[in-house]
Amino acid sequence: MASDLDNIRVVLVRTFHSGNIGSTARAMKTMGLNNLILVNPNDFQLEQALQMAMSADDVVNNATHVESLYEAVKDCAVVTATTARTRGYDLPMLNPAQAAHGLCLSAKKQQVALVFGPERMGLSNEDLVHCTHRVTIPTSPDYSSLNLAAAVQTLSYEVFKQFCALNENVETNIANTETREMPSIENTELFYQHLEESLVDVGFIFKKHPGDVMKKLRRMFSRTQMDQTEMGIMRGILASMQKQNPSNPKK
Ligand code: SAH
């Protein structure tokens, strides 16, 4: 049965134990999620994964393998990172119900992803650059780190609950909620490239010594949650700036 849940993918980044990949597949399938993407798993053992997957062997067998998180999420409009600890990278922070609600709403029209980190280290700050939101499952302050597949189960359950709630009463939920079209990660990346190029053109940053201005601007823009139309306006402004600049060869 095709549903909005098909637009929600689970991404496992650099998973260490193949058994956790199987347990993840089982957790997903029980909650109606089937799209699994594996980013560079460590020493992937299909047999071990299938042992833990039980009847979710199709999810493991159909999983897509990619080399980078960017590749896994570049066509997505919402990419929610899951972290046990508060991280330096400053993304909008959601609780599980809010995260699931946002994912289900966006999945009505666009591709979205829920991203899980490696067992030991969790997601790195470089991974978080490609995410739009962050969610932490509340836990005891004494021990905040769930087993990877347990974290997948908890968040998949939240997604399934929200999906059922939205589909019971679709009209009221849509009427009350913002349904802006958000840019894909790929379009966001193109915007940042355009911004950097324009700042070089006007001499605000130097190509050879860019410093960390772009990093700070990325953080600032990720807090604004620009939608597709707003990003189009920004790209238009940058293009006009580039045209005005006498030193720009593209003029
Ligand atoms: N030591 C790591 C935990 C890794 S656990 C850290 O502090 O981040 C493996 C993965 O399970 C995490 O990367 C995250 O995706 C998920 N996870 C574990 N506990 C979680 C929690 N409380 N909230 C959200 N995700 C969690």
Q: What is the pLDDT of residues 146-169, one digit of tens each?
A: 999 999 999 999 999 999 988 875
Q: Which of 137, 146, 147 to mutate to test the pocket of ligand 1 (most atoms within 8 A of CB)?
A: 146
Residue 100's pLDDT is 97
State if residue 85 touches ligand 1 by the CB under 6 angstroms criterion.
yes
CB 89 within 8 A of CB 128: yes
Tell me yes or no: is domain 185-244 CATH 3.90.550.10: no
Ligand 1 centroid – CA 174 distance (Å): 31
The one-letter code for the residue type at 199 is L
Rounded to the nearest angstrom, the distance between the alpha carbon of 145 and the centre of ligand 1 is: 5
Q: Residue 129: is its pLDDT beyond 50? A: yes
Query: What mean pLDDT comes out for the span 193-221?
Result: 90
CATH number for region 2-177: 3.40.1280.10
Structure confidence at residue 239 (pLDDT): 94
- Rounded to 5°, the CA angle 78-95-154 comes to 90
Please calculate the CA angle 198-186-102 and round it to the nearest 5 degrees. Answer: 120
Give the Cβ contact number of residue 28 at 10 Å.
28
Q: What is the mean pLDDT of the chain?
A: 90
Confidence of residue 170 (pLDDT cuts 50, 70, 90): very low
Q: Return the residue whose CA atom lies nearest to atom 8 of ligand 1.
A: 122
Domain boundaries, the chain: 2-177, 185-244
